[in-house]
Amino acid sequence: MIYHSTRNEQLTASSTHAVLQGIAPDGGLYICDPAALRFDWRAALEKDTLSMAADILHALLPDFQDMDRLVRDSYAGKFPTSDLTPLTPVADKYVLELYHGPTSAFKDVALSVLPRLIVAAAKAEGMKGDVVILTATSGDTGKAAMEGFHDVPGTRITVFYPYGGVSAVQQAQMATQEGANVRVCAVRGNFDDAQTGVKKLFSDEKLRQELARHAEAVRPVPVAAHTPPQPEPSAAQSPRPEPEAEQPPQPGPEAPQPAQPDWKPQTRLEHLSVELMNWFDDMMGA
């Protein structure tokens, strides 16, 4: 199965490379040709949920080895039901329940398996060292990502979120997340500021050169946060006025400031992580 960019069909990649790259070099998304799929969906319907998931993922990502084991390891002990997302009858309709994951967010379904897909792809591509994930969140994605990646060998993740811009529950979930390979950083501003900052990290040439010099220890993988596009105002609509400058949110009882851990960087990777956070903070303050 060959993947290509949505912006240029000549930019192609294997499924393992597409998973690691995240976004094509031209900024497009990697997609495959549905007509090229060879998948017996009728046979899949006769199987249990995890076996069905393994079959579907194997059809879409054929370069991955032992997809059945990968899927079962990803979901083991995380969902209270073997169906993962049970279909519940309500009168003459059905409701798909997406809240049974460890963080009660629907993104638990994807973010439980993504870390192991990334590790398997890195191995298949001959990469050495840890894969480092940088991502911004407006609330539920961050906790689900941290929960999915925590203590997965060969991965590290740093999540940026807008301070005061998530619920107290979401902030507490992220600030108390267990795992030696997870970090969370509050950003002064809104979600767009956090997401723009992460995107700028990957477009900064000086930072790219620094990471390239330590490629044996660090491999950044962008995790794109997709939100529905906002419609352009029609000619009959008046343009929306520019918002006033946003003031940094003040700590309050509804959003307590998380305690700062007594932690100092020891390894070169941890020092580089601190440099990334400092660079991010300087950039946002500029």
**Within 13 Å, how many C-alpha atoms sit on residue 260's CB side?**
5
Q: What is the DSSP string of 20-85?
A: HH-S-TTSPPEE--GGG----HHHHTTS-HHHHHHHHHHHH-TTSS-HHHHHHHHHTTTSSSTTSS
Q: 159: which strand partners?
A: 135, 184
**Secondary structure element (H or E) that encloses residue 242, with its range:** none
Q: Which helix (H) or strand (E) holds 132?
A: strand 130-136
- Which residue reads 């049974």 in tokens? 100
Cβ–Cβ under 8 Å, residues 207 and 280: no
Given 78, 107, 128, 143, which residue is catalytic? 107
Q: Is 93 a catalytic residue?
A: no
Q: With both helix axes pointing from N to C terminus, report the angle between 140-149 and 108-124 in degrees, rounded to the nearest 10.
A: 50
Tell me how far apart the 2 most distant CA atoms of the chain are, in Å.
61
Neighbouring residues of 88: CB distance < 8 A, sequence distance ≥ 6: 94, 95, 96, 97
- Return the SS3 of 221: strand
**What positions carry a catalytic annotation?**
107
